[in-house]
């Protein structure tokens, strides 16, 4: 079955433009012009990825993103106004995996869709028999892409898992935001990028970390992040 992409935007021309490019790449597309219809599709259909506009007639993309994240971990891309940096940070903090600003290049959006979907299906191609990394009560398995903390499963998005895995693989070392971003997103990092910070904050929240004294993911101010059980 082809991977199914949900596009939610009240601007029909934008939806049809995105649909055209995604279908050309072999994706199946579901279109919704409001949040209510989008949630109905999600509850009835197997969705591989969702593209959400922030401004919708019956709700907003942030609220819709929060509702999705209550039950689903498939990737989410939000569409934001070019000048609204706070929208990007908010979207990433509440569960989106990536953002694209309007007006956007449909080829760029399609590339981001493909990147996120590849992240969902990654596996250990080297055939390593030792796929688990254990740090204190935290266990991360590369093959199954599952993570547990003190025996309890963590519900992570593909991006969150990749960030946590990369930090675990570099256990005890300080990883800069630039290195983390370029390793996970496979894109060039720029100084004002808050993407990593927003995802780290969300990871800590899911892990039940105390913000000012985290047990696992620690901030080394001016340098980056490191993971080690305290």
State phi, psi for 99 to the nearest 5 degrees.
-140, 155
pLDDT at 23 over 90: yes
Does the predicted model carry a pTM greater than 0.75?
no
Cα separation, 158 vs 140, whole angstroms: 13
- In the three-class reduction of DSSP (H, G, I as helix; E, B as strand; rest coil), residue 200 is classed as helix
- In the three-class reduction of DSSP (H, G, I as helix; E, B as strand; rest coil), residue 1 is classed as coil
Q: Tell me 154's DSSP state.
A: P
pLDDT tens for each residue of 145-201: 889 998 888 988 888 999 999 999 888 889 999 999 988 888 887 766 688 888 999
| Paired tokens of 26 | 């072999």
Report pLDDT for 142.
Answer: 79
Cα separation, 137 vs 150, whole angstroms: 5
């Amino acid at each position: 079955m082809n991977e199914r992409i949900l596009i939610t935007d009240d601007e029909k021309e934008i939806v049809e433009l995105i649909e055209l490019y995604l279908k050309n790449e072999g994706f199946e597309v579901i279109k919704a012009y409001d949040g209510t219809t989008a949630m109905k599709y999600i509850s009835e259909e197997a969705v591989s990825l969702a593209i959400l506009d922030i401004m919708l007639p019956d709700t907003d993309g942030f609220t819709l993103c929060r509702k999705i994240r209550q039950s689903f971990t498939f990737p989410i891309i939000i569409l934001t106004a070019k000048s609204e940096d706070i929208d990007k940070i908010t979207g990433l903090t509440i569960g989106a995996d990536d953002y694209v600003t309007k007006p956007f290049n449909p080829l760029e959006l399609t590339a981001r869709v493909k990147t996120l979907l590849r992240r969902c299906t990654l596996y250990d191609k080297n055939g390593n028999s030792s796929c688990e990394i254990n740090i204190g009560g935290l266990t991360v398995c590369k093959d199954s892409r599952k993570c547990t903390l003190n025996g309890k499963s963590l519900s992570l998005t593909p991006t969150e898992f990749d960030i946590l895995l990369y930090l675990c693989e570099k256990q005890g070392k300080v990883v800069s935001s630039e290195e983390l971003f370029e390793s996970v997103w496979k894109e060039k990092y720029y100084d004002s990028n808050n993407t990593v910070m927003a995802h780290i904050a969300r990871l800590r929240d899911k892990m039940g970390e105390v913000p000012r004294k985290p047990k696992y993911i620690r901030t080394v101010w001016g340098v980056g992040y490191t993971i080690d059980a305290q």
